[in-house]
Amino acid sequence: MKSILRKKEKAKIGTVLDKNIIRKLKEHALKEGKPINALLEDAIMHYDQLESLDRIIRLKALDSFLSIRFDLSDKIWKTVMEEEVFGNEP
């Protein structure tokens, strides 16, 4: 994934990471032939995309579930609707 950030928009930060994370970052950077900052930028961009995708998937699952017709008797519906959700007695 090509970085969408231009060089003049970049800023240097300092952070503390677990040594194993740093080791993994270095391994991936070497394997992919990229600097660590490029890997971190890509990871953050992918994370943002996954967060949006996750929301879309959840909404589609909800829509699919709600489109199912439930053939329940009136007695069962009444029982379900009168059930105390939080376990408090009326």
* pLDDT surpassing 50 at residue 1: no
Give the pLDDT band (50/70/90) at residue 85.
low
pLDDT, tens only, 41-77: 998 888 888 878 888 888 888 888 777 777 778 888 7
Q: What is the pTM of this model?
A: 0.51
Please check whether residue 56 lies inside any domain of the structure: yes
Host domain of residue 27 = 14-82
Please check whether residue 89 lies inside any domain of the structure: no
Please check whether residue 78 lies inside any domain of the structure: yes
Six-digit token string for 54: 């996750």
Please check whether residue 87 lies inside any domain of the structure: no
Cβ–Cβ contacts within 10 Å for residue 17, how many? Answer: 10
Q: How far apart are CA 14 and CA 18, in angstroms?
A: 14
